[in-house]
Amino acid sequence: MPTVMIVDDALFMRVMISNMFEQWGFTVIGQADNGEKAVKLYRELQPDIVTMDVTMPGMSGLEAVKQIISEFMEANIIMITALGHQRNIIDAIESGAKDFITKPFEVEKLKKIVYNILAIEEY
């Protein structure tokens, strides 16, 4: 059963995304509301996949991706961003994020991205 870490400063987003992953049969093993906590938690848990909000107080999702990828090149991180943050997305992908999705997003689109990254056949 693949493991997931959800990083978003908005509690409702963490709950919504967690519920989606649990419905797909994933185990949500951690949540963080900022980049610093995300880096710390990633070191501890090393989940199979991470959803990472771009804009958060303190350390941004972009900075967190750079930090995590510098230590764990194999990390599977999907950036989640609001419209209008294309520059940040390019930076995140160049820094090692595997993919991105824009809020508000379709559940099926996120599922397809996750399954592609983890090479899970059916979705």
- On average, the pLDDT of the chain sits at 94
What does the CA dihedral 74, 17, 2, 107 come to, rounded to 10 degrees?
-90
pLDDT tens by residue, 53-110: 999 999 999 999 999 999 999 999 999 988 776 788 889 999 999 999 998 889 999 9
Query: Is 3-117 assigned to CATH 3.90.870.10?
Result: no
pLDDT for the residue 89: 84
Which of 20-24, 49-53, 91-95 comes out lowest in average pLDDT? Answer: 91-95
DSSP 80: E
For residue 122, name the pLDDT band (cuts at 50, 70, 90): low
pLDDT for the residue 51: 98
Q: How far is CA 31 from CA 35, 77, 116, in A?
A: 11, 14, 22
